[in-house]
Chains A and B, each alone.
Chain A
Amino acid sequence: MNVLIYLVPMALLLGLTGLAGFLWSLKSGQYDDLDGAALRILPDDDIDS
């Protein structure tokens, strides 16, 4: 069971990274315009042909 000593902190750390990622994306306004984000990937005019 000694493996828990580093497995549990690692699992928690990974979870916390996910939470921090979500909070960051929330703060940077990525959820402000969900419908728009779905449409913005469609046009190709940002690609130099």
Chain B
Amino acid sequence: MAEKLDLSMFVERGAAGASHMTLAVEGVACAGCIRKIENGLTKLPGIIDARINFTQRRLAVDWRDGEIDAAGIIKAIEGIGYQAHPFAPERVEADDSAQAKWLLKCLAVAGFAAMNVMLLSISVWAGNVSDMTQETRDLFHWLSALIALPAAAYAGQPFFRSALRALRARQLNMDVPISLGVVLALALSVFETATHAAHAYFDSAIMLLFFLLCGRYLDLAMRRKTRVFAGNLASLKAEFAHRLEASGELTQVPVAALNPGDRVLVRPGDRIPADGAILGGTSEIDESLVTGETLPRAVGAGTTVYAGSINISGALTLRVTAAGAGTLVEEVQRLLDKAIAAKSQTVRLADRAAQFYAPVVHATAALTAVGWLIAGASPHDSIVIAIAVLIITCPCALALAIPAVQVVAAGSLFRAGVILNGGNAIERLAEVDTVVFDKTGTLTLPEPGIDETTDIDSDILERAARLALSSRHPLAAALARRARERIAYSGAVEEPGQGVRAVIDGEEARLGGAKFCGLAEPEQPTAARDSTASFITFTRGGKTATFAIRQALRPDAIAVAKALMGRGLHLIVLSGDRPAAVAPVANALGIGDWRAGLKPAEKIAVIDALQAQGRRVLMVGDGLNDAPALAAAHVSLSPVTAAHLTQAHADALFLGDHLKPVLRAVVVARRARSLMKQNLALAVIYNALAVPIAIAGLVTPLIAAVAMSSSSMLVTLNALRARLAADGGLAPAAVDRLPNPDSNGSAMSAEAASLSSVPFPKLTAKATPRPLLEDISA
């Protein structure tokens, strides 16, 4: 009986039996793909509309119920040759999209007003030195007011609101001086216009808003782009569970649709979809994603298991339990809450600058007014000059200095395969001086691979790998990834718990346990001989080969560790795995500080102790047990294969089998931070030059316009250097194409097949932890 697929959680029901669904589509790369999918779908009965958003690689489908269903649509897309994954839109994304539209509207209004007001202003500047009559000048000023006042009231909202929020919280941010400058400039201009004065600053106020809105919009656009990409990745990785209905039927449902109390069937080789208690069946499970422990654990009826573990040998029936019922999850959640509460709010560089800048600027303006009064100027002139000081110091360049760099740096990180979750992660990444790595799935590849140290006949390997294609066992899956010809042998039979056999070219071949392959007892590899590997044996026509399957280091882990240390970072490995499994990894990487067998609370204790010493810790981890440590660290990174909860608490995710994105993240962030500081310095130099002119009372609207636009251009151009430096000389990561998920739902294993992996050296030298860790051990 074919298993039913229930996708109702992704479908929005409209009026009159119409339904709508959004799908993330893989492999859409050209105009032809768009046509093929859209035309192929609209030809089907019941489809009302199908439209691809190429920028987001998403497909929106509308259809009439009864004529076709969600599963049918996905099958149809597969028939056309593309993989589509149903997509549950997130709230943040919708909020961002609305925010971006609003900013763009403000930008359009400010742009329109800036152009027209500048047109009038230039006429006035030209007229002031030639023969303009006072009546014409007043007319032009009033016209400027007519355009600028409503435009500023509308386009200035993003700044006014943010400034009000900050003031209510009794804080200062950059928007406070901006709002004050704009409002005062406009008020002064209206007053000057009413008193027939020669100068009005409408153009300065509105141009300031235009420049700043450009910066805001670009910042948001970059964040939206990464968020859309992360959303697609999540839907690609979304897993399905086999739910046992009361009738005994099996239904395939998305994991997110599982409720406590549901019964779920977990087949060998499947990932356990939710936390739960085992109702029936016995098996071994690989909990490396949960605890970091690489040795499988035997489980049976009554055992509590956690989402993310891999079922190795037997089919299990599971009752899904609510979160919190499991001891480990409860503990992790409790530690997480504590870590988040304890984490001091790091003050952004921009806000720190604002807190220093705003009082200085306002004090300077006040002193200027007082100074001119004492010097004998009229109150009107003193106030005009003071406001001119405020306008000229209005932090146009300062407010662009940091966002501009952030946009460019986030862009080059995105191309390097690093997806930022938080806005100020770049600044915190740049401050890091200690990097703490988890072992399993972080330093090592998330999935085990075969050991390459022993010579294996490539012909035997190919046959074994192709035979492994017919098995669901996780060890076989590691072998199967090496198959060059990805066609399973016909007639292959899997004997549950033992292995696979097939007849290849007239001779029987077997793949599985040593006993299954007829190996004599003394020849059998045992855990005692090598405790860090599992073994799988292949035999055909009297020839036998044994493959060691183990967690392999990420291909570039050693080089990256060396490069990180070369940049003055202190590296530490904290693992939940056994010491015997951690020591070889730490040795291979040349990391002296390592600790094994840590519980989540102990990982936090180590990180807290490091931070108490004044160290800024970057935590890189993927397991559920790492989540609290990620939240406690100064900044954190997770591979995209990490547990869901862990990803949610990481500041950034990195893609691919390589560890290089970690290095790139640190390098780009440091570069970005130095550019931010340069930009701040440029803004300060600009002020140092412009402020004396303003205090002397020599600033005309013309000077203000030139000074403001040139300083803004300067910092923006300087920010672009972040891209040149970050992208130069390094191969771009293939972020634009979406990764292929395999049947286990891991996004990157397709790439794993083509990459050679570095095996661990044998456990010979015993490493001793260096003093730093012993000092701080809890």
Residues of A within 8 A of B105 (CB): 23, 26
Binds A, one of B31-39, B563-571, B658-666: B31-39
Pair B32/A43 contact, Cβ less than 8 Å: yes
Q: Closest CB of chain B to A47's CB: distance in Å? A: 13
Chain B 93-108: CB-based contact to A (< 8 A → 1; otherwise 0): 0000000010011001
What are 12 A-B contacts defined by CB distance under 8 Å? A4-B136, A11-B119, A15-B116, A26-B104, A31-B104, A33-B56, A35-B54, A35-B55, A36-B34, A39-B31, A39-B34, A40-B31
Is there an interface contact between A36 and B55, defined as CB atoms closer than 8 Å? yes
- Taking the closest CB of chain A, its distance from the CB of B213, in whole angstroms, is 14
B112 and A16 contacting across the interface, CB-CB below 8 Å: yes
| A43/B55 in contact, CB under 8 A | no
Report whether A4 and B35 are in contact in the complex, using a CB–CB cutoff of 8 Å: no
Give every chain A residue within 8 A of B147 (Cβ-Cβ): 12
B residues in contact with A12, CB < 8 Å: 116, 143, 147
- Cα of A39 to Cα of B147 in the assembled complex, Å: 39
* CB closest residue in chain B, given A34: B55
User: Is B54 within 8 A of A15, CB to CB?
Assistant: no
Interfacial chain B residues near A8, Cβ < 8 Å:
143
> Once the chains bind, are A36 and B53 in contact (CB under 8 Å)?
yes
Indicate if A48 sits at the interface (CB-CB under 8 A): no
**A6 CB to nearest chain B CB (Å):** 13
Q: Which residue of chain B lies nearest to A37 when distances are taken between CB atoms in the complex? A: B54
Chain B residues touching A, range: 20 to 34
Which residues of the partner chain A approach B116 to less than 8 Å between Cβ atoms?
11-12, 15
Is B30 at the interface (CB under 8 A from chain A)?
A: yes
Q: With a CB–CB cut-off of 8 A, which chain B residues contact A19? A: 108-109, 112
Q: Given the complex, which residues of A lie within 8 Å of B56, measured CB to CB?
A: 33
Judge if B139 is at the interface, Cβ distance under 8 Å.
Answer: yes
- Residues of A within 8 Å of B119, CB to CB, are 11
Given contacts A15-B112, A22-B108, A31-B104, contact A4 B55 (CB under 8 A): no
- Residues in B with CB closer than 8 Å to A18 are 112
Closest residue of A by beta carbon distance from B32: A43
State which of B54, B112, B139 has its C-beta within 8 Å of the C-beta of A4. Answer: B139
A1-27 CB contacts (< 8 Å) to partner B: 1, 4, 8, 11-12, 15-16, 18-19, 22-23, 26
Given A8-B143, A11-B119, A12-B116: A39 in contact with B54 (beta carbons within 8 A): yes
- Write out the residue numbers on chain A whose beta carbons fall within 8 Å of the beta carbon of B53: 32-33, 36
Q: Which residue of B lies closest to A31 (CB)?
A: B104
In the bound assembly, the distance between CA atoms of A16 and B143 in angstroms comes to 14
B719 within 8 A of A: no
Q: A22 — which chain B residues lie within 8 A by C-beta?
A: 108
CB distance from B464 to the nearest CB of A (A): 44
Specify which chain A residues have a CB less than 8 angstroms from the CB of B54 in the assembled complex.
33, 35-36, 39
Q: How far is the CB of B479 from chain A (nearest CB, A)?
A: 40
| A11: B residues at CB distance < 8 A | 116, 119
A31 to B105 alpha-carbon distance, docked (Å): 12
B35 lies within 8 A of A1 (CB): no
- A39 → chain B closest CB, angstroms: 4
A contact residues around B139 at 8 Å (CB):
4
Provide the bound-state CA to CA distance between A15 and B109, in Å.
10
A43 touches which of B31, B101, B115 (Cβ 8 Å): B31
CB distance from B544 to the nearest CB of A (A): 54
Chain A, Cβ-Cβ closest to B53 = A33
Find chain A residues with CB under 8 A from B318 CB: none
Interface check B52, CB cutoff 8 A: yes
The answer on a CB contact under 8 Å between B104 and A45 is: no
Question: Which chain B residues border A16 with CB–CB below 8 Å?
Answer: 112
Known contacts A15-B112, A19-B108, A39-B30; 8 further A-B pairs (Cβ under 8 A): A4-B136, A26-B108, A33-B53, A34-B55, A35-B54, A39-B34, A43-B35, A45-B35
* Residues of the A chain whose Cβ atoms lie less than 8 Å from the Cβ of B101: 26
* Complex CA–CA separation, A25 to B112 (angstroms): 15
Nearest-CB residue, chain A, relative to B100: A31
* Chain B hits for A40, CB < 8 A: 31, 34
Interface 0/1 of B41-66, CB less than 8 Å to A: 00000000000111110000000000
Q: How far is the CB of A11 from chain B (nearest CB, A)?
A: 7
| Bound-state Cα–Cα, A35 to B28, Å | 12
B31 contacts A15, CB within 8 Å? no
Residues of chain B within 8 A (CB-CB) of A43 are 31-32, 35
**Contact residues in A for B143 (Cβ distance below 8 Å):** 8, 12
B77-134 contacts to A (CB < 8 Å): 101, 104-105, 108-109, 112, 115-116, 119, 133
Chain B residues closer than 8 Å to A33, beta-carbon distance: 53-56
A38 CB, min distance to chain B CBs, angstroms:
8
> Shortest Cβ distance from B620 into chain A, in angstroms?
33
Inter-chain CA distance A35–B104, complex, in Å, is: 18
> With A26-B101, A36-B34, A39-B30 given, is the CB distance from A1 to B136 under 8 Å?
yes
Q: Which residues of A contact B31 (CB under 8 A)?
A: 39-40, 42-43
Min C-beta distance of A4 to chain B, whole Å:
7
User: Nearest Cβ distance between residue B105 and chain A, in whole angstroms?
Assistant: 6
Residues of B within 8 A of A23 (CB): 105, 108
Minimum CB–CB distance from B363 to chain A (whole Å) comes to: 39
- List chain B residues, Cβ under 8 A from A4: 136, 139
Query: How far, in Å, is A42 (CB) from chain B's closest CB?
Result: 4
Question: Nearest chain-A residue to B116 (Cβ)?
Answer: A15
User: Which partner residue on chain A sits nearest B108 by CB separation?
Assistant: A22
Tell me how far the C-beta of B373 lies from the nearest C-beta in chain A, rounded to whole angstroms.
Answer: 39
Q: Which residue of A lies closest to B38 (CB)?
A: A40
Give Cα A45–Cα B649 distance, bound, in whole angstroms. 48
- How many Å lie between the Cα of A47 and that of B415 in the bound state? 38
Report the minimum CB–CB distance from A48 to chain B (whole Å). Answer: 15
User: What is the bound-complex CA distance between A42 and B115, given in angstroms?
Assistant: 35
- In the assembled complex, the CB of B161 is this many whole angstroms from the nearest CB of chain A, namely 21
CB-CB nearest in chain B for A14: B116
Q: Which residues of A contact B32 (CB under 8 A)?
A: 43
Q: With both chains docked as a complex, state the minimum distance between the C-beta of B127 and any C-beta of chain A, in angstroms.
A: 10
CB distance from A16 to the nearest CB of B (A): 7
A residues near B55, Cβ cutoff 8 Å: 32-36
A14 vs B552: C-alpha distance when bound (angstroms): 66
CB contacts under 8 Å to A, within B143-169, are 143, 147
> A43 to B139, alpha carbons, bound, how many Å?
54
**CA separation between A11 and B53, bound complex, in Å?**
37
Cβ of A39: which chain B residues have Cβ within 8 Å of it?
30-31, 34, 54
CA distance A8 to B147 in the complex (A): 12
B178, chain A: closest CB distance, angstroms: 23
Give the residues in chain A near B35, CB-CB below 8 Å: 43, 45
Give the nearest-CB partner of A25 in chain B: B108
Which residues of chain B from 741 to 761 have a CB within 8 Å of any chain A CB?
none
For the complex formed, measure the closest distance between the CB of B394 and the CB atoms of chain A, giving whole angstroms: 25
**Measured between alpha carbons, how far is A49 from B115 in the docked complex, in Å?**
46
Residue of A nearest to B104 (CB): A26
- Specify which chain B residues have a CB less than 8 angstroms from the CB of A35 in the assembled complex: 54-55
> Min CB distance, B117 to chain A, in Å?
11
| Residue from A31, A43, A45 with most neighbouring chain B CB atoms (10 Å) | A43
